[in-house]
Amino acid sequence: MADQKIAAYICQGCGLGERLDTVDLAKVAQKEGKAHVVREHEFLCNVDGVKTIQNDIDSEGVTHIMIAACSRRAKAEAFYFPAVAMSRANLREGVIWCQPDTDEARETTQEMAADYVRMGCAEVKKMIQPQGNPGAVRNNRILVVGGGMSGMTAALQAAKAGYGVVLVEKAGQLGGWAGKIYKRIPSRSPYQDPQDTGVEEMVKAIETDSRIKVYLNAVVAKTGGAPGRFQVEVGQESGAAGTEEVGAIVQATGFSLYDANNLPELGYGKSANVVDQAGLEKLAKEGNGAIRRPSDGGEVKTVVFVQCAGQRDASGKHLAYCSGSCCNTSIKQAMYFKDANPDVNTVVIFDDLRTPGNGEDFYRSAQNKGVTFTKGKVSAVEATGNTCKVTFHDLILNDQNATIVDADLVVLATGQVPNSGVDIDAKLKAEVAAANGDTSLLEAIEAQEASGQKPISVLNLDYRQGPDMPQLKYGFNDSHFICFPYETRRTGIYAAGPVRRPMDMVQAAEDATGAAMKAIQALENAAVGRAAHPRSGDLSYPSFRIEGCTQCKRCTVECPFGAIDEDEKRYPQFNEPRCRRCGTCMGACPVRVISFENYSVDTVGSQIKAVDVPDEFSEKPRILLLACENDAYPALDMAAMNREIYSAFVRIIPVRCLGSVNTIWITDALNSGYDGVMMMGCKHGDDYQCHFVKGSELASYRMSKVDDTLKGMGLEVERVRTFEAAITDIERLPKLINEYAAVIREIGMSPFKGF
């Protein structure tokens, strides 16, 4: 990097000039930061300040810039210089806004600012401005798997945006469940009556759109490649096969109804007059709204709807969750009867009635039509000739044996089971559950294996991690519910509709629209070698020094996104378009040979070493804080905006994810005389908030082994702590820092100072 020319810019705006000695900071940048050009400016983000920086790049040959001003999360548009490497020293939120404006605090505040200037200069020296992947490929087509409401919506929305679509449907016609129902739940105010499904119009729109290519009676036989260059083999029932190249994929494979044969106590399979909700839709569609008793075609005078049939079950035998749309579906189906004949006795027995999306308008409309709603839990349905007897616990009157006799039809709301494909982590989940005393999952898998039955794959991915996408514990495709609802753990592949979570048709259409837009973003990013969320726009990608690699496979195993394979010599092979740039592979590597151009073991390690660590007699401890850039770092910025004060002895380095933290950083900090190391990352577990899914979990696992290292070094285990942090922890994080600083003061200064 001999041709580097570093420029450092010290801003005096936003109160920095009043609170800090910027002349001294400029000297620090010049003498200790070794910056070739150093400038102070009264307001660096204004037109003149930005022009000053650009002129130095254009006229002075500056290749690396360090901007000491506000947080890297602020003024990103103003400080956009794509031709050079850039670091940001956070003097506003990270120093003056989180420190008291008093004479007593002036010295430590200035020391913080000087350290951040040193750190910024040290970081940028180790950076290379990424140029992107020269092998990037543009493909403006999207594969949509599934031709139901979700799949058709995704296909139509992508086509409207000008992108080609390949739509694969396993049935002989489009429509999915939406094509099998008589009417749909109303999608707009006043939410009074069931409405037409609109499926025929959607099918016609797809058939007449030249951008959409449809495969019917077809499945995805194999999916290889990566965003921008997926190769998909489509197998058809006729035996014909086709190969399609696409840039991104939307899985919209929908759901199956929970098997009502699992509910013999509710009469299913014992009486033809007990049906599930799909069965009732079939009767309504066949009769064009006139529903007859299945057993003999007789008139229906009384119909009972049983809510939560095999759902919200705490026993472990049935579905543990609520499917969300079943209550509205039963209300709609009860209206079928009332609209045809107001004298039909319609009773909905529910534990909790949930009507998302329409307030209570639809429910009130059903009441006005004479539908009876009874709060209770059905315990048995018995066949009595051509009618049924329904026994339930009346939760209002607390009658354990309330009954409805002579019900001509009983409808079970059985819930949605996602068509997700193979659960590639099923055995691991079962073993974890068994270790905690629950052997049911393991027994189910063993029984399935013994019977020779195998789950059918949906995508047939050619990934070392498995043929389908990872799933959550109930079989829904894994996605980040809070921040990135359509994202899966396979870059460029998006989940939409009930395969992601239970939902109705309105929600499924909205979901599919979002997934289609994300698929478009993915293929556009892939075309220029940019990262997908949450580092969208990042042109860096991982590389490694082959001569130092020990072929331990930790990077390939720990990558949350299946972005790393192995070549024929068993060295890691980075599939750049699949990479999310989280750096988990970098944190996993024990020999530190993996890096990114703008983020590496050296960029962080050099910042750690650049801090001026006082000796043991100064009574000024130094605490390193490695903060997740997605939650913890923004929370600390917002805390500073609220003028929350925290210890002046902490030095914060944002990291892409705690999964990227290499233990060498901890060792370097402690060996350099730091008195403590804090790490703040996202919540992990089943309800994780980590933007990179597994990063914080992997970091927690790695750090669980640090205690032995500390003891071996003769240090207290309290000197390294990991905390879960959410972006909303604006008041909590400063308190954690202050509490930890008090712990460090109590245990004393590090014995490694001065070595």
pLDDT one-digit tens code per residue, 689-743: 899 988 999 998 888 888 888 888 889 999 999 999 999 999 999 999 999 999 9
Q: Give the residue-averaged pLDDT of 481-507.
A: 91
Query: For residues 581 and 655, what is the distance between their CA atoms, to the nearest angstrom?
Result: 11
If asked whether residues 235 and 98 sit together in one domain, one would say no
Over residues 91-120, the pLDDT tens digits come to 999 999 999 999 999 999 999 999 999 999
pLDDT at residue 2, as a whole number: 53
Cα angle 340, 341, 345 (rounded to 5 degrees) comes to: 125
Question: What is the pTM (predicted TM-score) of this model?
Answer: 0.92
If asked whether residues 34 and 177 sit together in one domain, one would say no
Is omega for the bond preceding 186 within 30 degrees of 0, making it cis?
Answer: no
535: in domain: no
Residue 508 has a CB neighbour count (10 Å cut-off) of 30
Residue 594 has a CB neighbour count (10 Å cut-off) of 27
Report the DSSP beta bridge partners of residue 377: 393
If asked whether residues 449 and 314 sit together in one domain, one would say no
Residue 1 has a CB neighbour count (10 Å cut-off) of 11
If asked whether residues 223 and 265 sit together in one domain, one would say no
Indicate if the pLDDT at residue 561 is higher than 60: yes
Contacts of 100 (CB under 8 A, 6+ apart): 645
Indicate if the pLDDT at residue 1 is higher than 70: no
If asked whether residues 510 and 652 sit together in one domain, one would say no
Indicate if the pLDDT at residue 137 is higher than 90: no
pLDDT at residue 688, as a whole number: 87
Over residues 229-253, the pLDDT tens digits come to 999 999 999 888 899 999 999 999 9
742-745 long-range contacts (CB < 8 A, ≥24 apart) are 743/676, 743/718, 744/621, 744/623, 744/649, 744/675, 744/676, 744/718, 744/719, 745/621
If asked whether residues 722 and 740 sit together in one domain, one would say yes
Which of 129, 159, 184 is where one domain is finished? 129
Over residues 611-656, the pLDDT tens digits come to 999 988 888 999 999 999 999 999 999 999 999 999 999 999 999 9
If asked whether residues 157 and 306 sit together in one domain, one would say no
pLDDT at residue 704, as a whole number: 83
478-484 long-range contacts (CB < 8 A, ≥24 apart) are 478/693, 480/688, 480/689, 480/691, 480/693, 482/689, 483/534, 483/630, 483/689, 483/691, 484/533, 484/534, 484/691
If asked whether residues 400 and 281 sit together in one domain, one would say yes
If asked whether residues 113 and 163 sit together in one domain, one would say no
489: in domain: yes
| Number of domains the chain is built from | 5
135: in domain: no
229: in domain: yes
Is omega for the bond preceding 190 within 30 degrees of 0, making it cis?
Answer: yes
If asked whether residues 38 and 95 sit together in one domain, one would say yes
If asked whether residues 324 and 350 sit together in one domain, one would say yes
Domain that holds residue 448: 425-453
Task: Specify the CATH number for the domain of residue 242.
Answer: 3.50.50.60
If asked whether residues 406 and 472 sit together in one domain, one would say no
Contacts of 285 (CB under 8 A, 6+ apart): 180, 181, 182
Q: Where are the alpha helices (DSSP H) in 490-576?
A: 505-528, 554-558
Query: For residues 220 and 243, what is the distance between their CA atoms, to the nearest angstrom?
Result: 10
Element (H, E) at 218: strand 218-224
The two three-digit tokens of residue 295, written as one number: 């057993």
